[in-house]
Structure 1
Amino acid sequence: MTADEADPDSIERGEPRRPDERLGLITGIVVGAVVVALAVVTGFTASWYVGDRDRDQLDAQYVDAARRGVLNVISVSADRADSDVDRILEGSTGEFRADFAGRSKDFIDVVKQMKVTSKGTVNAVGIETSDEHAASLLVSATSLVTNGSGAQEEPRVWRLRVHLQHGDDDRILIEKVDFAV
């Protein structure tokens, strides 16, 4: 029997007629498996990259919200105490908002009576924990305080733990502020 002649038994079993046909079939299967594996790896890598990028963007939003919120709290002026309080309340929620709102009239009265001016600077912000709904950050800040009692741009150092959460309108708001040791 020559190489070109078919063996009737091999045809019935579905076997290739020549060894080089078998090699081509195996090569095709291997190449297909490699292509599928590369596609799966590429898909996982892309999803990790997008997830990391989204997480980095959210963490940057948390840092910005903590920075802005702390500046609002430590930067006040007797000339604009009412609007300063409104700005603080607008950027807050939960326990912090309830506590501050309850004391806001007294706060305004003291700031105006003592002729307080405080200019704040945030020195550093670090994320302690964060997820897609809330975060806890450590904030180091300094304010220069001038008041009617004789303080002339006296520095006040602040070490704060700021708890943030997403509000109903998806804004990031201060929920709680603690003094950090």
Structure 2
Amino acid sequence: MPDEPAEAQREPTETTSDRTITGYGIASAVLGVLSVAAVVLGFMIWSGHRSDAEERTYQTEVLQAAVDWTNVLVNMNAGTIDESLRTLHEGTVGQLNADFDTTVEPFRQLVAKLQSQTTGQVESVSIESLHHDLPGQKPAGPQPELSTVASRTDTVIVVATSVSTNAGNAAPKPIRWNLRLGVSDVNGKLLVSKLEALR
């Protein structure tokens, strides 16, 4: 056999520019991008769900604090008035705490004078959130004294009913309570910072 030329004996070498991307390579790249996107989306959904769950847990604690405080208020009796007022006062902060004695003194005198026996219960409680100002209603101004001690304040609407009987009156008298409470988070403790009777 005659010798083949040296050029023909060499096997062709493949260069990087000669390589082609196959369908499997494209599919792998697309699946890789989709996998990364799915992981990122899954993390975002989990993070949002966790944040929502924490917010709902916090709001439940705020509602419970408002219910507990209101229960003391609507169940105040002549025999337990001092203890009830002390409990209410310890559960307040801010301007309500500073003006507490002045605010409740007329109520204290009335309960003591009438020797009333009261039984009450909270009927409903909800977090109030306004997305815009209502016509004819001034937005509640912030309490500057709370900005240094409270990390957050939520407004809670409480509806309660109590039945009061006086020493001289045999017929029980129902009393309807419609309250707007400000519940502030002070170092992890929920305290009432605002009390407003609604008509």
Match of 1:92 in 2: 92
Match of 1:160 in 2: 179
Q: TM-score, normalised by structure 1?
A: 0.82
- Match of 2:52, SS? helix
Match of 1:40 in 2: 40
Q: How many angstroms does 1:92 deviate by?
A: 1.2
Q: Please say if 1:120 is aligned against 2:138.
A: no
List runs of 5+ in structure 2 lacking aligned partners: 1-10, 131-150
Report the structure number with the largest CA radius of gyration.
2
- Match of 2:178, SS? strand
1:1-181 alignment to 2 at 5 Å? 8=14, 11-13=15-17, 15-16=18-19, 22-103=22-103, 107-129=107-129, 133-150=152-169, 152-168=171-187, 170-181=188-199
**Matches of 1:78 and 1:175, distance apart in 2:** 25
Q: TM-score, normalised by structure 2?
A: 0.75
Q: How many angstroms does 1:124 deviate by?
A: 0.9
Q: Which protein, 1 or 2, shows the higher relative CO under an 8 Å CA cutoff with sep ≥ 6?
A: 2
When residues 147 and 57 of structure 1 are mapped into structure 2, their CA distance, relative to the original with a 3 A threshold, is same
After superposition, give the CA deviation of every residue in 1:135-179 in whole Å (9 maximum; x if it has no partner).
Answer: 1121111111122342643100111111111123x1111111111
Question: Which structure carries more helix by proportion?
Answer: 1
Count residues with an aligned counterpart: 169
| Range with greater deviation from structure 2 (93-102 or 74-83) | 93-102
Assess if the C-alpha contact under 8 Å between 1:145 and 1:151 holds in 2: no
**Matches of 2:170 and 2:71, distance apart in 1:** 20
**Matches of 2:162 and 2:35, distance apart in 1:** 60
- Match of 1:56, SS? helix
Assess if the C-alpha contact under 8 Å between 1:145 and 1:155 holds in 2: yes
- Match of 1:153, SS? strand
List runs of 5+ in structure 1 lacking aligned partners: none
Assess if the C-alpha contact under 8 Å between 1:91 and 1:174 holds in 2: yes
**Matches of 1:117 and 1:85, distance apart in 2:** 15
When residues 151 and 166 of structure 1 are mapped into structure 2, their CA distance, relative to the original with a 3 A threshold, is farther
When the two chains are superposed, the root-mean-square deviation of aligned CA atoms in Å is: 2.3
Seq. identity, %: 23
